[in-house]
Amino acid sequence: MRSRSDDHAVASSIRWWQRWASWAGYAASGAAASYGCLLLVAALLGYRSFIGVTDLGLPDVTWPGAVVLLIGSAVAAATVRPWGGQVPPRALSAGAWGVAVLALVGSCMVLLNLIQLVLTGTVNDLNGNSNWLTFVERLCLAVVGALFVATALSHTRRSTGVCPRCGRAHTPQVSDRRYPTPHAAPPAMRWIAYTGCCAFLPYLILHTLGAAGVPGIEPNGFRPTWYMLLAGFCGVGLAVFLLLGLVRPWGMVFPRWTLWLAGRRVPRFLPLTPVWVVAPTLALYGTVSGILAGAGILSDDLFSIGGAASLAFGGYGWALAIAAVSYQLRTRALCVPTEMAAL
């Protein structure tokens, strides 16, 4: 198994953000401890609306949130400190992944807050009251979740004896990083992406029929304008472009039609940042609303425009998340060992 000191055996030419495996655990531990302590104090003072769950009619999670964050801080610290070697590696990895999932689920509705902020310049709750605190809480959880994903990934790789940065086995001394040649995703991943793009078709068709005046399509007799429909088609077009870019070679290197950018490598954060902001919210919203509609809890059924929206957002969200994982695996940089660089 690779020692933690191997993470520091990197040449100075590799920038600090490329050494994320060596500092992610410390950052995750510090962020979770800080946030957990603030949440603990807030709970002691009677705060009962963490990430706005009470506004949605759900039970309060302020105390559980504080406990999870504080436990997560200890788990993240154990992945990078010597005393963590006394804990089974699988238990630490499972704990880090668990905190990451809980944090990202808690932050998933941040997309709706961002859309509202762009369109209106403010953030409000369901009752129209200012909701900036909940927005900040969700943003903080998104950061904590991302740090715990990096921590869990680096620890899992380290405990299996491979490089925590690139996930491959090589000597500790590294002189540079090399990116793979642009290539498309495997056929199965491409078909998942194509299916995610097609998930919008029923939703767009029903909205088009509603704009054409067909009765019984839109709820409460609402009739969308053709301008609204055009804006919807443009939004779907951007969504499809983002998803296809994750599975096609032009998502790794700028194509010829990008003019002066043609031939340059696409920075990974460029597609992945919007993907991981959008995918959790859409996947969760589409899945939960579809389940509630199927159970008869919501007024919309699965064969209404509400059901089409659940299919569109849920199907696209899950396809986007799966394609993003494939993209991250295909585009990760390969460490170049010092001995190979000297040849």
Contacts from 205-209 at CB under 8 Å and sequence distance 24+? 206/305, 206/308, 207/232, 207/305
Cβ atoms of residues 135 and 113 within 8 Å: yes
Over residues 97-121, the pLDDT tens digits come to: 999 999 988 888 888 888 788 778 8
Helices within the chain (DSSP H only):
20-44, 62-78, 89-107, 110-120, 132-159, 187-198, 201-211, 226-245, 269-294, 305-331, 338-341
User: Among positive and negative, which fits the CA dihedral 168, 101, 112, 135?
Assistant: negative
For the cut 70, the answer to whether the pLDDT of residue 87 exceeds it is yes
For the cut 80, the answer to whether the pLDDT of residue 129 exceeds it is no
Q: Map residue 12 onto helix, strand or coil.
A: coil
CA-to-CA distance for 31 and 177, rounded, in angstroms?
28
Average pLDDT, the chain: 85
- As given in the structure block, the two tokens for residue 39 are 């949440």
Round the CA-based radius of gyration of the chain to a whole number and report it: 23
CA distance to 212, 224, 235, 253, 308, per residue, from 229 (Å):
10, 7, 10, 32, 15
Cβ atoms of residues 184 and 249 within 8 Å: yes
Cβ atoms of residues 81 and 30 within 8 Å: no
Task: Name the more confident of 119 and 135.
Answer: 135
Q: Map residue 1 onto helix, strand or coil.
A: coil
Q: Map residue 32 onto helix, strand or coil.
A: helix
Tell me how long the chain is: 343
Cβ atoms of residues 73 and 33 within 8 Å: yes
Cβ atoms of residues 43 and 67 within 8 Å: no
What does the pLDDT average to over 56-70?
86
Over residues 298-322, the pLDDT tens digits come to: 666 666 788 888 899 999 999 999 9
CA-to-CA distance for 51 and 62, rounded, in angstroms?
9
CB atoms within 10 A of CB 174: 25
CA distance to 8, 161, 164, 230, per residue, from 5 (Å):
6, 13, 12, 56
CA-to-CA distance for 112 and 197, rounded, in angstroms?
21
Over residues 199-221, the pLDDT tens digits come to: 999 999 988 988 888 887 877 77
Over residues 7-33, the pLDDT tens digits come to: 444 444 566 666 788 899 999 999 999
CA-to-CA distance for 218 and 205, rounded, in angstroms?
12
CB atoms within 10 A of CB 1: 10
CA-to-CA distance for 148 and 146, rounded, in angstroms?
5
User: What residues are paired with 334 via a beta bridge?
Assistant: 178
CA-to-CA distance for 15 and 17, rounded, in angstroms?
6
Over residues 248-265, the pLDDT tens digits come to: 999 999 988 888 888 899
- As given in the structure block, the two tokens for residue 217 are 């399509």
